Amino acid sequence: MRCRLRRFTLTKAVPLAISRGVTAAVEHLLVEVEHDGLRGWGETGGLDTGHRHYATEAVAAELEPLLPQLGEASPLEEQALEPLLAGLSPPARCGLDLALHDWRGKWLGQPLWRLWGLDPGACAATSVTLGLGSTEAVLARLARWWQQLPATRIKLKLGSPDGVDHDRALLTAVAAALRQRRQDTGVACELQVDANGGWTLEQALAMLPLLEAHGVVLLEQPLAPHPDPACDTAGFAALHPHCPLPLVADESCWGLDDLLRLAPHVDGINIKLLKSGGLSEALLMARTARRLGLGLMLGCYSDGSLLNGAAAQLLPLVRWPDLDSHLNLVDDPFTGLHCAADQLQLPRQPGLGIAVPAAWQGSAAGPLRPEAPVVVLLHGGLDNLSGKTGLALLRYRPGPIVAVVDPRHAGASLEAVTGIERAVPVVGSVAEALPLGPEVAVIGLAPSGGQLPGEARADVAAALRAGLSVASGLHSRIAADPELAALRHPQAWIWDLRQEPAALAVAAARAAALPCRRLLAVGSDMAVGKMSACLELLAEARRRGLEARFVGTGQAGILISGAGVPLDAVRVDYAAGAVEAAVLEAGRDLGPAALLLVEGQGSLAHPGSTATLPLLRGSQPTDLLLVHRAGQRHIKGLPALAIPPLGELITAVEALAALARPDGRRPRVRAVALNTAGLEPGAAQRACAEVELSTGLPCADPVRCGGGRLLDALT
């Protein structure tokens, strides 16, 4: 069984305020298990109930070292897996539990609710949630819900930090709006109240008469959960005898043990999969609660359709469904959870019945399709190294580029400015590019510090506002910018590729077992053309009919190929493991005649570079390609640091590449790719001849002359 993690962001259309704070967006984790050709998926993330808190980063840190340990296990070995899952926190256990359930349902060819023998006709309508806010804002949110679906069950959040007087005003206003709707439409609406632990016992007792007078049908978690179970139980025990409406525990009830201690003092419990640790515990809790005569609520946090679709498998057992979070997302990536009026429909497909984006069904794949027409944003970077990402796209992206945005060169010839022979217009703004039909705006800048330049921000916003997707290799994340994220259309995406992959593991020389040849480009300095050399070799190999693939390790390489690992975003202890995972993914079905080209980064000769060793360790290359800039004698920007003679550098690289290898082989540098940019043709030829003479290796400039001579050295 192979397991992987992926991080993704969920953004609310309307931020939700409760007694503990406001949520506008969250980062979640996608857990994948693959076995016997089937894939199971689970969604999880952090949560905070006031007395217990789990950050998404901590959940990922739990899962990352565990997932590789499951390699020898099968998803069918449920009993054997139980001890491993039991040691995890509830949210970490939830993600893996859901993925395993999804896989088992797919293996059996049935949705889970059907395997459990549940009645699809027993499902009730879901409630929709009104967060805290001004009376006007809450009523506007109610009107927006009614525009979206004919909701008949309304959950009002109370426990306002502004005090119970504000709570009374909100309750009175919403109850009046529900009465008015019944008068206008003849449809009666049910009002539920959730204080999220925002009241004291005295405040809760004082609110009970008003709740009853306004016809509230249940009161959820009025008191703050207490970390001491005995004290927590005592609060419900003190309130329950005085409560004239069903009293439901949420934050206080995580698992079966909480259910059993609270059962004498509540009328219902709210099961949430992140609290229960997944469906295994949730199903046990649901059946136990029904046996004890407790009403069941099924709730959510800021969850996508995958997590809510998993919870929906329990709907026939539930009196008060509350699965509306996915209906308030602008970027829910999952599909398959449908609503008829205000009632969620049980998924009919096997397993959880929820589809994961095709672009995510690989460890390193991004959503940028090769055939998607793009506009490249290169504000002020068309004629200098700050635009190197966009320039690489213009030179090597196989798919259509409809325009380049650079106000400094608007109207100029691309070839005249850059020397790149591609018929792409240079325009002054995204607005000018829109008539040309782009689907994606790619940020082609690589500024120092990796932040979005101010002059480009307006065009990123314009692209999102126009419905375009955005791909970015900056360190600053576009999806984490609330102002920009809020502009994204539901059908569009934001791909911040410069993120550390999930499920990181320490490298273990596993790539050495791949049968394919693996060529790693190594440089005499940074930014000498390692990616360009690999891509020229890739093009030449494919021209000859050879099977070849490319593993991008920098933002440009990943944007061009659509997959890879952003090595400079990975913690150094896991860098070799991240390269190893990407190489294994790219090469898993390649035979001995195939060539896997791994983009190099940095240089052993540069004091600020840490990338070459992880690349050597992770890729376990069979061959090496040295890349050098013609005439360069010292590290750029560091004149006191001379670049060693190429022969000495080759010897050092080969010696390091021979270490930490299970096969004991010593990979050889097979050729030298020489960057002769700026030289006249004759001078470029002489420079290549000098390198051949000094190293005894074939040398060519692949950008100027193609990759034929270099590929000949490998075959």
Quick check: is 267 in a domain? yes
CA-wise closest residue to 627 among 523, 519, 518: 523
Residue 2 has pLDDT above 70, yes or no: yes
pLDDT at 502: 62
Residues 461 and 578 in one domain: no
Q: Which of 496, 531, 556 is the last residue of a domain?
A: 496
Helix axes 305-312, 90-108, angle to 10 degrees: 70
pLDDT at 503: 59
Segment 631-659 mean pLDDT? 97
Name the DSSP letter for residue 365. B
- For 173, residues 6+ apart whose C-beta sits below 8 A from its C-beta are 135, 138, 139
Quick check: is 182 in a domain? yes
pLDDT at 11: 93
296-307 tens-digit pLDDT: 999 999 999 999
Quick check: is 369 in a domain? no
Q: Lowest mean pLDDT: which of 57-71, 359-373, 648-662?
A: 359-373
Residue 456 has pLDDT above 90, yes or no: yes
pLDDT at 216: 98
Domain count, the chain: 4
Quick check: is 502 in a domain? no
Residues 638 and 686 in one domain: yes
Residues 298 and 395 in one domain: no
Residue 393 has pLDDT above 70, yes or no: yes
Residues 702 and 579 in one domain: yes
CA-wise closest residue to 325 among 314, 346, 309, 340: 309
Contact 439/433 with Cβ under 8 angstroms? no
Residues 483 and 517 in one domain: no
Q: Is the pTM of this model over 0.75?
A: no
Q: What's the CATH number where 276 sits? A: 3.20.20.120
Q: What's the CATH number where 407 sits? A: 3.40.50.720
Q: Lowest mean pLDDT: which of 108-112, 308-312, 413-417, 522-526?
A: 108-112
552-576 tens-digit pLDDT: 999 999 999 888 999 999 999 999 9
Segment 588-602 mean pLDDT? 93
Residue 546 has pLDDT above 50, yes or no: yes
Residues 263 and 398 in one domain: no
Residue 531 has pLDDT above 70, yes or no: yes
Quick check: is 98 in a domain? yes
Residues 308 and 435 in one domain: no
Contact 33/75 with Cβ under 8 angstroms? yes
Residues 323 and 378 in one domain: no
pLDDT at 360: 67
Most confident of 30-34, 209-213, 449-453, 495-499: 209-213
Residue 490 has pLDDT above 80, yes or no: no
Residues 279 and 428 in one domain: no
pLDDT at 515: 94
Q: Lowest mean pLDDT: which of 116-125, 375-384, 658-667?
A: 658-667
Give the whole-angstrom CA distance, residue 496 versus residue 44.
20
365-374 tens-digit pLDDT: 578 888 889 9
Q: What's the CATH number where 64 sits? A: 3.30.390.10
CA-wise closest residue to 166 among 209, 135, 203: 135
Q: How confident is the model at residue 273 (pLDDT cuts 50, 70, 90)?
A: very high
**Domain hosting residue 54, numbered range:** 2-110
The amino acid present at 687, given as its one-letter code, is A
Q: How confident is the model at residue 358 (pLDDT cuts 50, 70, 90)?
A: low
pLDDT at 365: 58
Most confident of 167-181, 470-484, 557-571: 167-181
Give the whole-angstrom CA distance, residue 586 versus residue 518.
11
Contact 427/376 with Cβ under 8 angstroms? no
pLDDT at 369: 82
Segment 533-557 mean pLDDT? 95
Contact 379/386 with Cβ under 8 angstroms? no
CA-wise closest residue to 618 among 658, 575, 573: 575
Quick check: is 504 in a domain? no
Residue 362 has pLDDT above 50, yes or no: no
Quick check: is 612 in a domain? yes
Q: What's the CATH number where 519 sits? A: 3.40.50.300
Residues 385 and 311 in one domain: no
pLDDT at 363: 42
Residues 28 and 82 in one domain: yes
Residues 398 and 452 in one domain: yes
Segment 512-518 mean pLDDT? 95
137-168 tens-digit pLDDT: 999 999 999 999 999 999 999 999 999 999 99
Segment 466-484 mean pLDDT? 92
Q: Which of 110, 128, 153 is the last residue of a domain?
A: 110
pLDDT at 492: 85
Quick check: is 505 in a domain? no
Q: Which of 318, 350, 382 is the last residue of a domain?
A: 350
| DSSP-H helix ranges across 486-611 | 530-543, 555-561, 572-587
Segment 191-206 mean pLDDT? 98
